[in-house]
Amino acid sequence: MPAEWEPHEATWLSWPHREGISFPDSYDSVMPAFAQMVGALRESEKVCINVMDYDQEEQVRFLLRDTDTAHVEFFHIATNEPWCRDHGPIFIKREQHPRLAILDWAYNAWGGKYPPFDLDDAVPTRIAERLQVPVYYPGLVMEGGSIDVNGSGSLLATTACLLNPNRNPNSCKAEIEQSLCDNLGVSHILWLGDGIEGDDTDGHIDDITRFVARATVVTAVEDDPQDRNYEPLQSNLKLLKTMANERGKPLKVVELPMPPRIEKGDRRLPASYANFYIGNKVILLPVFNSRKDQLAIEILQSCFPTRKIVPIDCRELLWGLGAFHCLTQQQPAT
């Protein structure tokens, strides 16, 4: 599996449905963030959007009427919800022809939390059929947001998510590690602990720690000792400072601030600057109208000096409990 910063052929999205459960009573208010996301990728790469049918395609075209969509291609692939990072394909590159292939992990909506998910579970195979590339079935429940790779042999994950019994209760840690190595071409698993408060995925890595180079990570750090995220993120930080990549090179750890607490109703939402998406020419960065936004922009710009940082307000989008990385899936260039 190539690193996310390696060249893309396209970015895949699954467009949400007004009647879906991800954005209760807020579909219209999250559409501006979706439009900005599609528009920001215009100079970067093709955007492939999964829609239910021609009716939804026309609805989305209307929503994007003020956006140049010459780079957009629609695919009539039905979905339940919009979180393409998790239900979408994991693209891998092979030595043999065709170079591109797809992994179709089993998908159960983060431990069976949000049925139905049958349409989402079928998305990788439907995309493989459309692209006419091989598809492989590792046989484990896995989401794309639960792993992050450096493209040369190392993989980040959390024990809180991957070892949660609501995914693969009959598989031990060693078996899960072996499957990751066999299917993703990695040799070195870096395990962190817990995720952030409000994250209904049981601790996806893409809300806390991300590779930005072969031996460099950015990791979310909470500076308020009274915040519930302080201890788990400090614990992860300490672990990272002891770790090395697959070649034995110690990790360079760049600290990324956590945004202020954001709530809706009585629920904390999983706001994190770590949920950015790396495009060919841009970084889509979730921001939250906070004084910390600018610091996050500067940190990510230092990590990706040749890419444009595109900050997009995610306060409405966050009601769906995810941001840009959760919504996207990269297709590597071949």
Determine how many CB atoms are found less than 10 A away from the CB of residue 304. 18
Q: Report how far residue 9's alpha carbon sits from residue 236's, in angstroms, rounded to the nearest whole number.
A: 33
Statement: residue 25 has pLDDT above 90:
no
- The arithmetic mean of pLDDT across residues 283-302, rounded, is 98
Write the pLDDT tens digit of every residue in 171-216: 999 999 999 999 999 999 999 999 999 999 999 999 999 999 999 9
Q: Report how far residue 198's alpha carbon sits from residue 283's, in angstroms, rounded to the nearest whole number.
A: 24
- The arithmetic mean of pLDDT across residues 274-279, rounded, is 98
Is the separation of the CB atoms in 126 and 89 below 8 Å? Answer: no
Q: Report how far residue 53's alpha carbon sits from residue 300's, in angstroms, rounded to the nearest whole number.
A: 37
Which are the catalytic amino acids? Answer: 326
Write the pLDDT tens digit of every residue in 142-151: 999 999 999 9
Query: Can you give the pLDDT at residue 324?
Result: 98
DSSP string, 133-173: --EE---SB--GGG-EE-SSSEEEEEHHHHT-TTT-TT--H
Question: At 126, is the secondary structure helix, strand, or coil?
Answer: helix
- Domains along the sequence of the chain with CATH: 8-332 (3.75.10.10)
Nearest Cα to 92, choosing from 44, 149, 176?
A: 149
Mean pLDDT of the chain: 97
As given in the structure block, the two tokens for residue 144 are 């794309």
Burial pattern 162-188, b for ≥16 Cβ within 10 A else e, equals: bbbeebbeebeeeebbebbeebbbbeb
Statement: residue 37 has pLDDT above 90:
yes
Statement: residue 112 has pLDDT above 90:
yes
As given in the structure block, the two tokens for residue 179 are 């499957």
Query: Can you give the pLDDT at residue 19?
Result: 94
